[in-house]
Amino acid sequence: MSVNRLLRVGTVAVASLGVLALSACGSDPESSANPGSTSSSSGGDCPKGTLNAEGSSAQKNAIEEVISKYNEKCTDVTVNYNPTGSGAGIKQFNASQVDFAGSDSALKTESKDGGEAEAAAAAKRCQGSPALNLPMVIGPVAIAYNVDGLDKLVVDGATAAKIFQGTIKTWNDPAIVKLNPGAKLPTAPIAVFFRSDESGTTENFTKYLEAAGGGAWTGKPAKKWTGTGAGKEKSAGVAEGVKSTKNSITYVEWSYAVDNKLGVAQVDTGAGPVELSAESAGKALAAAKPAGTGSDLALKLDYATKAPGAYPIILVTYEIACSKGLPAEKTALVKSFLTYFASADGQSSLADLKYAPLPEETRTKVDAAIQAIS
């Protein structure tokens, strides 16, 4: 290799480094492409600008659908949603990097590690006004299974808890047989799959197992799985695991179970087996109690609900937004988009994606809270 060629390669490398450094300095992370927009608009009108949001991956498909529908109406608004996870979304929101966040759980009012509580940090970001937890998307969690010849499976809270705890080890366990009279259950061991990443789905599912398991679930509800089984990465991983492993079971968002053509168990809440549908999931939300006060709509789900026809394992994803304190043009954007999201029109598009629309009563409350944003 000649010295000349080396020299040339070296200079190219250095020159390109320099260009990189320059461009890194030049780009401004704060999006400045925000033309003077209508600050006085009410929620119904279309403002102009870019809205950045980040958070829960559980509502990714829902919010993307709503964004595309919204853009048919309001062509001048760009809404970006980055599905990085609830924790990351809240962190970015509290650091003023995004305009609203999506989260699988309401902002925590108590701090976990001695640091600042999420709600307090969010209020600071909103110039002292509290941040709102707006329940927006109901994502039912399916108990999905893969057993040859088993078209219908019924479980109740205690049985589910024991299966996922590892105390029921085989498919022909008397407890399962009792709930499924006449079903062809194999003698094989049950292969349980769980989410190996920390996940709101796991948190909600373990809340259900604790509430409805009658003491069979020994762990505390948490984002990190404490039961038995083999861990797979994200929803796609557990769905793929069940699909490729006979006699397996997992908990996963409904859409993944349907997309992978997995069996979805019916859940016996004590009022008979309930099939998972948009309607049955909506009924469970209607049975939920508000956890917050005033316009804070954080919900306390009743996982042990015995309401007839209610499918109890649901995950409510919230949009976290400032009640006050955003710049006027951002407020208009947030308000306009969320108003559409909470409208009957916006919600109705979700059922096809295997989410459940908000029940009308909840929807009106959410809408009222959004209209109060200023």
Partner 1 sequence: MSSTDGTAPPDRPTDRSTGPKLDLGPVGHLGDRLFAGLARGSGGLVVAIVAFVGIFLLALAIPALADNNSSFLFSRIWEPGGETPRFGIAALFYTTLVSSIIAMVIAVPIAVGVALFTTYYSPKRLAAPVSHAIDLLAAVPSIIYGLWAIIFFAPILRPVIDGLSSALGWLPLFEKPATDNLGVVFTASVVLAIMILPVVTAISREIFAQTPITHREGALALGATRWEMIRMAVLPYGRSGVVSASMLGLGRALGETVAVLIILSVPNGNDPWDSSIFAGGETFASKIANNAAEFDSPEKTGAYIAAGLVLFVVTFLVNSAARLIVARSGPGNRRPRRNRRAGTNPAQTEGAAT
> Which residues are at the interface with partner 1 (CB under 8 A)?
3, 7-8, 10-15, 84-85, 87-88, 90-91, 112-115, 166, 189, 191, 193-194, 196-198, 223-233, 237, 240-241, 244-247
Which residue's CB is nearer to partner 1, number 8 or number 306? 8
Which residue's CB is nearer to partner 1, number 210 or number 329? 210
CA dihedral 165, 169, 171, 174 (to 10 degrees): -90
What ranges in 126-199 are assigned the alpha helix state H?
157-165, 174-179
Which residue's CB is nearer to partner 1, number 227 or number 346? 227
Closest approach, Cβ 55 to partner 1, in A, equals 10
Which residue's CB is nearer to partner 1, number 114 or number 149? 114
Residues in the chain: 374
Closest approach, Cβ 353 to partner 1, in A, equals 22
Closest approach, Cβ 113 to partner 1, in A, equals 4
Which residue's CB is nearer to partner 1, number 186 or number 309? 186
Number of Cβ atoms within 10 Å of the Cβ of 74:
17
Grouping H, G, I as helix, E, B as strand and the rest as coil, residue 290 is strand
* 77-82/49-55 β-pairing: parallel
Task: Please say whether the beta carbons of 143 and 176 come within 8 A.
Answer: no
Task: Please say whether the beta carbons of 337 and 77 come within 8 A.
Answer: yes
Closest approach, Cβ 15 to partner 1, in A, equals 5
Which residue's CB is nearer to partner 1, number 171 or number 337? 171
The two three-digit tokens of residue 40, written as one number: 């006085």
Instruction: Tell me which residue has tokens 């088993």.
Output: 150
Closest approach, Cβ 120 to partner 1, in A, equals 14
Closest approach, Cβ 276 to partner 1, in A, equals 25
DSSP string, 74-114: -TTEEEEEE-S-HHHHHHHHHTTSSSEEEESSPPPSS-SSS
Closest approach, Cβ 141 to partner 1, in A, equals 18
Residues 6+ apart with CB under 8 A from 60: 81, 83
Grouping H, G, I as helix, E, B as strand and the rest as coil, residue 215 is coil
The CA distance from 170 to 316, in Å, is 32
Which residue's CB is nearer to partner 1, number 104 or number 268? 104
